[in-house]
Amino acid sequence: MYKTVGSFAVVRKEFRNSTFIGHVRSIDSEAEARTFIDQLKGQYSDANHNVSAYLIKNDNALVAKYDDDGEPAGSSGKPVFKVLELKGLSNTVVVVTRYFGGIKLGFGGLSRAYRETAVA
């Protein structure tokens, strides 16, 4: 048995002039996660980054992945993934899109912004 999100959701947050758009939905397979991620990368192709994380548990198998999509290593995908772990969610994918607003956030600022968007 696993815990996942009940439905598709979108949230928009602003951090120091950068816009972060979070998407979350339940999934049943890695292929479904990849399709969702690719769809959002296409939809937000003008964005600076489309960071993703997913966790899938099926038949005693575990698939856990995250991608920083060009942000500094560990600054974005990992904090988003940690939200899934801390909330006990599986069979869930999260994509956080970032439009850079001209102010560098630094490693800590990026981690906080991506994490807070994923939590919302």
Answer yes or no: is 29 within a domain. Answer: yes
pLDDT attached to residue 8:
74
Question: Which pLDDT tens digit goes with each residue over 17-36?
Answer: 999 999 999 998 999 999 99
pLDDT attached to residue 60:
78
- Output the domain CATH number for residue 68: 3.30.230.30
Average pLDDT, the chain: 92
CA end-to-end distance (rounded Å), the chain: 24
CA 38 to the chain's CA centroid? 13
Answer yes or no: is 73 within a domain. Answer: yes
Mean local confidence (pLDDT), 69-78: 94
Q: Which residues of 79-107 are buried (b: 16+ CB within 10 A; e: fewer)?
A: bbbbbbeeeebbbbbbbbbbeeeeeebee
pTM of the entire structure?
0.91
Number of domains in the chain: 1
Answer yes or no: is 3 within a domain. Answer: no
In this predicted structure, the answer to whether residue 1 has a pLDDT above a threshold of 60 is no
Question: Which pLDDT tens digit goes with each residue over 75-111?
Answer: 999 999 999 999 999 999 999 999 999 999 999 999 9
Answer yes or no: is 4 within a domain. Answer: no
User: Domain limits at 35?
Assistant: 9-119
Answer yes or no: is 61 within a domain. Answer: yes
